[in-house]
Amino acid sequence: MDLTGKQKRYLRAEAHHLTPIVQIGKSGLTNEIKTSIRNALDARELIKVAILQNSDADINDVAEEIEEMSFDVVQKIGRILVVFKVAEKRDNRKISLKVKEL
């Protein structure tokens, strides 16, 4: 889903109070971490992903890999990414309904 500037601004504001759910450590972006990102996005639609200080992963490389998984990287700040995806289950679609209105 291509997001407009207005939609990204809304998602950044919504993500401001969130704490990172997924943390990327020394081993980088493994399949287990990709699965946990996918599951968290299905449940919440908007999450923060933190890259720990002991990780060799670069934030731009991680953002590219996440975008290849067809998720939207809304924001990159320091070592934290804000990631968005419309939930597959209709019951979990709360944020995406507001995003579509913008």
The answer to whether 51 and 25 have CB atoms below 8 angstroms apart is no
Q: Please report the pLDDT score of residue 47 as a whole number.
A: 96
Q: Please report the pLDDT score of residue 89 as a whole number.
A: 87
pLDDT > 80? residue 1: no
Spatial separation of the C-alpha atoms in residues 70 and 30, rounded to whole Å = 16
Q: Please report the pLDDT score of residue 24 as a whole number.
A: 95
Q: pLDDT confidence of 92, banded at 50, 70, 90?
A: confident
**pTM greater than 0.85 (yes/no):** yes
Spatial separation of the C-alpha atoms in residues 102 and 81, rounded to whole Å = 22
Return the beta strands (E) in the chain as ranges.
22-24, 46-51, 72-77, 80-84
The answer to whether 44 and 14 have CB atoms below 8 angstroms apart is no
The tally of domains found in the chain comes to 1
CATH code of 25's domain: 3.30.110.60
Quote the domain boundaries for residue 31: 5-101
